Structure 1
Amino acid sequence: MPDASVVIMDGMAVDAVVIGSGPNGLVAANLLADAGWSVLVLEAADEPGGSVRTAEITAPGFRNDLCSSFYPVAAVSPVLQALELERHGLRWTHAPEVLAHVLPDDRTVLLSRDLDRTAKSLESFVAGDGDAWRELYAEWLKIREPVMAAITGPFPPVRASVGLLRSLGVGDALRLARTFTLTARRMGEERFTGEGAQVLLAGNALHTDLGPDQAGSAVFGWMMAMIGQEVGFPAPVGGAGSLTAALVARLRQRGGQVSCGRRVTSVLVAGGRAMGVRDSSGSVVLARHAVLADVPAPALYLDLVGPDHLPAAFVADLARFDWDDATIKVDWALSGPVPWAVADAASAGTVHIGPDVNGLATFRNDLACGRLPRTPFILMGQMTTTDPTRSPEGTESAWAYTHVPRGQWTPDRIRRRADRMEQAIEQHAPGFRAKIVARSVMGPVELAEHNMSLVEGSINTGTAALHQQLVFRPTVGTGRADTPIDRLYLAGAAAHPGGAVHGAPGANAAKAALARHGLAGGPYRLAIKAVHRALYR
């Protein structure tokens, strides 16, 4: 690594360099620009956005989101709400219904923004579950604000925890804490009698890599279901890229810069401090105050920084970093709407196709054992149903993904899995395959080529399991954005609170950088160093 004098001599200078232009990187850049810092975002790809991008990859006139499409957590994230992105061109849209889970026998449970419709669907499975859902939703509304503040804020969430205690009292706060440790199956059994509500919780938990029998899966299934009940699963009008465009427009209005096609190859470290970065062309950018990295933790520490600059115990801990499953995603241009056998699936933006709770558990266990599940759990999006701008009138732009084991995925193996996904959809929508005009298939390698952060098709940048959350994310540490390198901050989904588009890791990194640079910066850094010495000596 070059020393500081070399960095200063040959590099341009800004207050902060942000590595990566995914939503977390752009949120971090916006908050630093709000504070008056000069900010440069360096992006390896030819356009910004990371996994929040849109393109015509199937047929002309069909706009397909390359990775993510629906953003329920964004709709309730205090981080993104504070940015007021609607003032910069962002508009949200909804499908008529939020989500339908189609069981093997075509029985379907519906999640709707209309509470009465959700309750009626649950009642069709067993009497009483509609009222039980209303009770669960009322509890959510009571605590949603402090819960979201706790989840999206820096760790530990002291202020938000106080708010929860005030709202709930000690007893109910402890009961909520217990809920956070439950499996989705156990929570479903405790709160409901029928299969409909139970599979709704378990299926939503599998938006992460957690099956219904894994500790902590209940909180993910509960949150996704409750957020869907409250605000739905919204999508940006025009495509996911509209969210990125709004973040970029806001940043540029405040003087920030985004430079694409510039892959950062190293973080320059001298005297235990991050001094700037070097890109693949050899150009150096000096960072006066901070370097923030919206990249996976192993890539930041082992590739961009290098083990020589890190405590040996930290490097050893990082070797145990646990990735989430690989993914195969298929996008389709369809000549018409999906011909579902059940009407509720036709009106939903998101459709779960798969087994009951036991089947979901088998699916997840197969993945844990490195086996390709015989019956895939498919998460599907109907984008023209959600947003008519996505394809020509009368057609449908759709996608689906499923998790697969990590490992070697040849083009032929990926094609066969995509065919199997189409067969599974065809069973519930006879005539589906006849409507396919074109398709695009991305396996683990292709997803990683699209976005370097999707390592081997990992879409959550590390498992959501309890052993890699809170103070254990990305590894044993403080649960904060600070790193063992002074003025270097982890700003991506590998940091607390993890995946989903909510901007929290980027916001937390920006707040840490501002705190380090502020009047209390000296004591702040001394405190962080003391913690790191205790952890990594």
Structure 2
Amino acid sequence: MISTADAVVIGAGHNGLVAANLLADAGWDVLVLEATQVPGGAVRSAEVTAPGYLSDLYSSFYPLGYASPVLRGLGLERHGLSWTHSPDVLAHLLPDGRAAVVNRDLDVTAASLEAFAPGDGDRWRHAYADWLQVAEPMLGTITSPFPPVRGGLTLLRRLKVSGALRLARRLVVPVRKLGDELFAGEGGPALLAGCALHTDLSPEEAGSGVYGWLLAMLGQQVGWPVPVGGAQKITDALVARLVERGGRIEYGARVDRVLTARGRAMGVRTAGGADWRARRAVLADVPAPALYLDLVGAAALPPRLVEDLAHFRWDGSTLKVDWALSAPVPWKNRAVAGAGTVHLGADLDGLTAYAGALARGELPRDPFLLVGQMSVADPSHSPPGTESLWSYTHLPFRRDWRAEEVAGHVERMEEVLEDAAPGFRSLIVGRHVAGPADLEDAEPSLVGGALGGGTAAAYQQLFLRPIPGLGRADTPVDRLFLASASAHPGGGVHGAPGANAARAALARDRLLTGDLYAGVIGAAHRTVYR
């Protein structure tokens, strides 16, 4: 028997669930097929270290999710989602023991930076004022389909030509250069660069500045909040909202083929041989190479597209460790004790050395750590007086990591923490290690432990994401749409790729039953891939 729906969504990651919700809102019958036994993709929580200690298994802090017009528009608070904040947003702990701290109180942040250089507090205020001028239209632009006409016009009206040109420059300047232009001391540049290193970009790489600026300024504006009760609450709310609107989710249903006829997606086939027909659209919350090469197949695609996919670049592999601690982290510098997120292990030059080792395919001897103090942000993550802690660090992209390599790097990570917080190791009552292969085994979209669905480098962004000519959710296969982080605008829990795919599917369905839309999109793809 063939099951039928208006739309079949491949993958119940947050982007797939966002897309399914928006289509359900439009009155479509929506079926989501999830390969694993649980929804959420990289937005999930579980007790993996010790009883009573909750860990966010992948993503944790959500400035983009909190600020995203896409997620905000879904009203997930009506389905149990609520947010909470750590006392301080972010701290960057330098090797010499000093710390730069972002707090939602602008005066507190300014005072922290002023300690690094006279005038840097006011320089931070000025940078934040610049951000506030563009924040709303910029977030709208980031989360809209490419080209972002409405948001772009709003920015142009607000900034005029000269201001728009300055913003355009900021979008491509390296974060080292940006920090040098904005601040006199080490604190501000370290904060920006540490934020930029959430991506796979080096401090000297074009475009790294905008990521550092965006995350740091969002921290000042809205904080880096977490869902009360863990990341899973975002997924639970998306699922509850979808089910309320009649959407269906099938678990353990791994799609291994998109079924096409006459250049049009007709449905999918799952690994057990079951066929699922899509009357209107197929949306795929899977990485671009998996969609095009595995599910569609090279024979059904333009040869130039297949050639370009050979140059698709993943972001780096990831090693994540969760700890259950019997007490809070005993930081030598207590200024970082109240920060939900702590960056440590490197100053700006150290970040450059770390990124250089990754670029050479080497394991950094001195890893830069991103640390999450979950119980500081949300005490429900662990018993009173304890801490649920995690840390992750980037590795060169590979899919063949040996167990001894992973174990050796975990040892280095714990050495960095022990140096910053003597006695840290004595507090460990449970540990959970997720190397690159573990991350991919648990969530197949995290290929090689890459979290971003592809590099954040400028040559694979906007109309170049995932490859030249595929800057929108539309694909060369009619009625098939890419809804994952491999599509514009990329990684992060903000829902934009899923929303963009849903909008594209609705637009294709509206315009003369899709024939006009399909003709225009098809002509564009033929121009690129002829």
Q: Tell me the TM-score normalised to structure 2 length.
A: 0.99
Deviations 1:30-77 (A, max 9, x none): 000000000011111111000001111110111111101111101111
Aligned residues between the structures: 528
Per the alignment, residue 425 of structure 2 pairs with 433
Per the alignment, residue 268 of structure 1 pairs with 259
Match of 2:483 among 482, 486, 491: 491
The SS at the match of 1:437 is strand
Deviations 1:244-284 (A, max 9, x none): 00000000110001111111111111110110011111111
Match of 1:221 among 208, 212, 218: 212
Match of 1:34 among 16, 25, 41: 25
Identity %: 60
d(CA) in 2 for partners of 1:447, 1:299: 17
Match of 1:459 among 451, 459, 464: 451
Deviations 1:373-409 (A, max 9, x none): 1110000001011111111111110100000112331
Per the alignment, residue 499 of structure 2 pairs with 507
d(CA) in 2 for partners of 1:172, 1:142: 11
d(CA) in 2 for partners of 1:90, 1:258: 20
Per the alignment, residue 395 of structure 2 pairs with 404
Matched, 1:141 2:132: yes
d(CA) in 1 for partners of 2:140, 2:336: 33
Match of 1:369 among 357, 360, 377: 360
Structure 1: state its 5+ residue gaps: 1-9
d(CA) in 2 for partners of 1:406, 1:536: 29
Per the alignment, residue 532 of structure 1 pairs with 525
d(CA) in 2 for partners of 1:322, 1:412: 26
Match of 1:203 among 194, 198, 209: 194
d(CA) in 2 for partners of 1:421, 1:157: 41
Q: Is the CA contact (8 Å cut-off) linking 2:365 and 2:412 kept in structure 1?
A: no
Which stretches of structure 1, 4 residues or more, deviate above 3 A after TM superposition? none
Q: Is the CA contact (8 Å cut-off) linking 2:326 and 2:427 kept in structure 1?
A: yes
Query: How does 1:118-267 map onto structure 2 within 5 Å?
Result: 118-267=109-258
- 1:80 shift after superposition: 0.6
Match of 2:465 among 460, 465, 473: 473
Match of 1:392 among 358, 383, 390: 383
d(CA) in 2 for partners of 1:522, 1:274: 14
The SS at the match of 2:365 is coil
AA paired with 1:459?
L
d(CA) in 1 for partners of 2:337, 2:316: 29
AA paired with 2:432?
S
- 1:410 shift after superposition: 1.3
The SS at the match of 1:267 is strand
Q: Is the CA contact (8 Å cut-off) linking 2:367 and 2:393 kept in structure 1?
A: yes
Matched, 1:312 2:303: yes
The SS at the match of 2:426 is helix
AA paired with 2:300?
H
Match of 2:57 among 66, 69, 74: 66
Q: Tell me the TM-score normalised to structure 1 length.
A: 0.97
Q: Is the CA contact (8 Å cut-off) linking 2:452 and 2:492 kept in structure 1?
A: yes
Query: How does 1:45-60 map onto structure 2 within 5 Å?
Result: 45-60=36-51
Per the alignment, residue 510 of structure 2 pairs with 518
CA RMSD between the two structures: 0.8
Deviations 1:157-189 (A, max 9, x none): 111111001111111001100110100011111
- 1:342 shift after superposition: 1.1
Query: How does 1:281-296 map onto structure 2 within 5 Å?
Result: 281-296=272-287
- 1:478 shift after superposition: 4.1
d(CA) in 2 for partners of 1:112, 1:441: 30
d(CA) in 1 for partners of 2:236, 2:112: 38
Structure 2: state its 5+ residue gaps: none
d(CA) in 1 for partners of 2:342, 2:99: 10
d(CA) in 1 for partners of 2:278, 2:451: 29
